Structure 1
């Protein structure tokens, strides 16, 4: 999971724990935050792009077929 997702999830978890009120609005906000955290956890991660300049000859050959 990208570091930004981890940071966002951490901030949302903190916000959820701060909202301890029992009023209806606090409960609704906590539910929204918890659903957002679940969506972040379920988000498919894109493959990490290579950071080097090495050519994968097998992948190149497959792409040419």
Structure 2
């Protein structure tokens, strides 16, 4: 199963679930101590990196390989 987040980006449901868990963890880590702030920052940065995921190139509709794509 693939979930469409936007019209161009398709991600597996495990990605969406992982992101949801990280967002919940940030909510839980509302402490003001140094360790909580550091963990919150790490999780927020991880979520930001997940949002920067680049979609994979579309799969060709045929099984024909273009040799020019691999020549240097």
TM-score, normalised on structure 2? 0.65
Structure number with greater Rg is 1
More strand by share: 2
- Count of aligned residue pairs for this structure pair: 58
TM-score, normalised on structure 1? 0.70
Higher RCO, 1 or 2 (CA under 8 Å, sep at least 6)?
Answer: 1
More helix by share: 1
What are the Cα deviations for residues 25-65 of structure 1, in whole angstroms up to 9, with x where unaligned? 10010000000000111021224658xxxx63xx73x7267
Structure 1 unaligned residues grouped into runs of 5+: none
Structure 2 unaligned residues grouped into runs of 5+: 1-10
